[in-house]
């Protein structure tokens, strides 16, 4: 595949230090796919609100991503941006805000993520009524689904199209739903839609069991890993740290150590984009070699760390992989 101007720029200029790490990671990802490997991408932070979907959706459409692990926030916030984009408020001078300024944003139903304020009414509530219907319909039918499956149902139903405020090709959830891409969402209850669901449980309108749990995600991930890790194997491209990364990467030592299955291949590629400095006791700040001791990576697994802002690095790596 011939490379476009962004890729050519990276190849020419990114020769040393952290820039070279980005180039090496992108080439390693590309080689992994070329040899028949598959890739899991994990999303921490607020990557959906950062509109990573502009490049991530195309990565999904072009089969350069085969599974995603993300926080509940990233799952819901891509769809919120899809249906309420024009109502978002950007605050470039967010470092100058006083506590009173922050209170005023709250009073105006804005929830701030760095320089971007999510509009509560247009984003959260617009999505809520459609999810509520999906949850209650499932319960009435004696059905249970994962959090991402409920969101897929709402997206694929077309009910949200009346609200679309961006081109749906820039929504990674739309791309994932159309592909029925496997997504694991550990800790989904730590999200706005998870909190909304909990409120219905407290009010007695829903049963907690209607949404499948994190343990069930791990059981399903075990099946997915065994399917995808044949041949060249399954790689791990981690954006940020936290539960979105730690949960899925642990499936390998769980199978090897706890299930005592000894035919389990290690993750066959590893890259982490993180601005966490190497530190004591930190997961995000641990160097990849530490993961060898936990039975996650092999001695020979290609390992990369790009220590920078993921909103800058991830689109560049994706652009390289897409030939842009």
Residue 261 to residues 52, 76, 253, 257, 264: CA-CA distances in angstroms? 37, 35, 10, 7, 6
Radius of gyration of the chain (CA): 20
Measured CA to CA, the distance from residue 27 to residue 29 in angstroms comes to 5
The confidence score (pLDDT) of residue 275 equals 80
List the domain boundaries for the chain.
Answer: 5-322
**Burial bucket for residue 292 (CB in 10 Å: 0-12, 13-18, 19+):** middle
Residue 89, strand partner residues:
117
Rounded alpha-carbon distances, angstroms, from residue 262 to 218, 252, 253, 266, 290: 18, 10, 10, 11, 21
End-to-end CA distance of the chain: 10
Hunting for tokens 């978002």 — which residue is that?
A: 88
The residue ranges of the chain whose pLDDT is under 70 are 279
Return the pLDDT at 64: 98
Q: What is the pLDDT of residue 223?
A: 98
Q: Would you mind telling me the total number of residues written for the chain in this entry?
A: 324
pLDDT score recorded for residue 290:
85
Helices assigned H by DSSP within 210-258 = 214-228, 242-249, 251-253
Name the pairing type of β-strands 116-119 and 183-184.
Answer: unpaired
The SS3 of residue 38 is strand
For position 148, what pLDDT does the model report? Answer: 98
- 5-322 folds as Deoxyhypusine Synthase (3.40.910)
Of the candidates 235, 228, 251, 248, which has an alpha carbon nearest to the alpha carbon of residue 302?
Answer: 235
In sequence order, the β-bridge partners of residue 271 are 237, 304
Q: Which residues contact 299 (CB under 8 A, 6 or more apart)?
A: 292
CB contact at 8 A, 212 and 92:
no
Cβ-proximal residues to 257 (8 Å cutoff; 6+ apart), any chain: 295
Sheet containing strand 116-119, strands side by side:
89-90, 116-119, 110-113
Q: Are 233 and 300 in contact (CB under 8 A)?
A: no
Q: What is the pLDDT of residue 303?
A: 96
- The pLDDT, as a whole number, for residue 292 is 85
Mean pLDDT of the chain: 95
Angle between helices 172-179 and 72-84 (to 10 degrees): 110
Positive or negative torsion for Cα 59, 60, 64, 68? positive
Neighbours of 34 (CB within 10 A): 9
Can you give the pLDDT at residue 41? 98
């Amino acid at each position: 595949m011939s490379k476009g101007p962004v890729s050519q720029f990276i190849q020419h200029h990114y020769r040393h230090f952290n820039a070279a790490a980005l180039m090496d990671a992108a080439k390693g990802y590309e080689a992994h796919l070329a040899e028949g490997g598959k890739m899991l991408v994990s999303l921490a932070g607020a990557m959906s609100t950062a509109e990573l979907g502009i490049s991530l959706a195309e990565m999904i459409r072009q089969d350069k991503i085969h599974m995603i692990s993300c926080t509940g926030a990233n799952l819901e916030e891509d769809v919120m941006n899809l249906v309420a984009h024009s109502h978002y408020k950007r605050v470039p001078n967010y470092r100058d805000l006083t506590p009173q300024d922050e209170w005023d944003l709250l009073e105006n139903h804005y929830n701030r993520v760095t320089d971007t304020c999510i509009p509560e009414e247009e984003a959260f509530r617009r999505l809520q009524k459609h999810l509520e219907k999906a949850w209650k319909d499932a319960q009435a039918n004696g059905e249970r689904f994962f959090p991402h499956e409920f969101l897929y149902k709402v997206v694929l139903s077309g009910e949200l199209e009346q609200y679309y405020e961006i081109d749906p090709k820039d929504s990674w959830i739309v791309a994932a739903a159309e592909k029925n891409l496997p997504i694991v969402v550990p800790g989904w209850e730590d999200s706005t839609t998870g909190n909304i669901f909990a409120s219905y449980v407290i009010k007695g309108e829903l049963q907690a069991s209607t949404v499948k749990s994190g343990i069930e995600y791990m059981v399903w991930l075990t099946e997915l890993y065994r399917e995808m890790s044949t041949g060249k194997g399954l790689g791990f491209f981690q954006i940020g740290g936290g539960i979105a990364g730690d949960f899925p990467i642990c499936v390998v030592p769980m199978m090897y150590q706890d299930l005592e299955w000894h035919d389990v291949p290690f993750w066959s590629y590893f890259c982490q984009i993180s601005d966490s400095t190497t530190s004591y006791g930190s997961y995000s700040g641990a160097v990849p070699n530490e993961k060898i001791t936990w039975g996650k990576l092999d001695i020979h697994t290609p390992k990369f760390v790009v220590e920078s802002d993921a909103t800058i690095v991830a689109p560049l790596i994706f652009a390289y992989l897409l030939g842009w």
